[in-house]
Amino acid sequence: AQSVAQPEDQVNVAEGNPLTVKCTYSVSGNPYLFWYVQYPNRGLQFLLKYITGDNLVKGSYGFEAEFNKSQTSFHLKKPSALVSDSALYFCAVRDGGATNKLIFGTGTLLAVQP
Amino acid sequence: DVKVTQSSRYLVKRTGEKVFLECVQDMDHENMFWYRQDPGLGLRLIYFSYDVKMKEKGDIPEGYSVSREKKERFSLILESASTNQTSMYLCASSLWAPSSGNTIYFGEGSWLTVV
């Protein structure tokens, strides 16, 4: 079965420093991987996805993610964190089969200190 | 822009009540989903629908049902609300294209409290 793991419940980083939010996956076949962000009391907003092609995927708000097949990872990164990046981040993998449903990790809370 | 609208943001219902959560999308998407979000558990799929009047159970369908009479509307029904159904409910939609990773778009969520 497809699954993703987010090993860190919370990541703390100072404003201006680079940030990394980790995600590892387990899939059969080719992985379709996604990152979403959730601000307090809001729904999920799509950040970026990896389907095929370049291992470095660029997304919204200056975020990028690196697909690493050998390490089965899809870590989210940003070169310089902003206080406004503080939010809950979810990694997800598309389930197999004909539908498009996603399987989500448990989420990582990113706290950026001024 | 894709818009997924959940009509009720905050609801308080009593145990045993029948509860309807409504969701409408404006992008002619075939797929629609209902997820439940709880702290430490992430998002769990309750039901999804890939066409009008078609539905499939997700990972936690017990205590829920759904209705999709029109393509743009997907309703989640709690037949008899219980306190353990207090949660954030998220509706989502996407195009149906199994060979590509179509993006799933989410609504703003509905906070349901059952007392």
Is residue A97's pLDDT more than 70?
A: no
CB-based contact, B45 to chain A, within 8 Å:
yes
Mutate one of A74, A100, A101, A104 to test the B interface: name it (highest B CB count within 10 A). Answer: A100
Average predicted confidence (pLDDT) for chain A: 92
Record: contact A98-B50, CB cut-off 8 A: yes
What pLDDT, on the 0 to 100 scale, is given for residue A102? 87
Contacts of A99 in chain B (CB under 8 A): 31, 48, 50, 56, 96, 98
Nearest to A36 by CA among A108, A98, A96, A100: A108
CB-based contact, A89 to chain B, within 8 Å:
no
What pLDDT, on the 0 to 100 scale, is given for residue B102? 79
Which of A32, A94, A104 has its CB closest to that of B42? A104
The C-alpha of B92 sits at a distance from chain A's nearest C-alpha, in angstroms, of 9
A109 - beta bridge partners? A10, A88
Is residue A17's pLDDT more than 80?
A: yes
The C-alpha of A41 sits at a distance from chain B's nearest C-alpha, in angstroms, of 8
What pLDDT, on the 0 to 100 scale, is given for residue A41? 84
SS3 B19: strand
* pLDDT, average across residues B78-90: 97
Q: What is the pLDDT of residues B1-44, one digit of tens each?
A: 668 999 899 999 999 999 999 999 998 999 999 999 998 888 99
- Amino acid sitting at position A59: G
Answer yes or no: are the C-beta atoms of A34 and A92 closer than 8 Å: yes
Beta-strand pair B42-51/A108-113: unpaired
What whole-number distance in Å separates Cα of residue A68 and Cα of residue B96?
Answer: 27
Three-state SS for A3-45 is EEECCCCEEEEECCCCEEECCEEECCCCCCEEEEEECCCCCEE
> Sorting pLDDT into bands at 50, 70 and 90, what band is B99?
low
What pLDDT, on the 0 to 100 scale, is given for residue B39? 87
What pLDDT, on the 0 to 100 scale, is given for residue A81? 97
Is residue A98's pLDDT more than 70?
A: no
Q: What is the pLDDT of residues A52-92, one digit of tens each?
A: 888 999 999 999 999 999 999 999 999 999 999 999 999 99
Q: How is residue B43 written in tokens? A: 């998002």
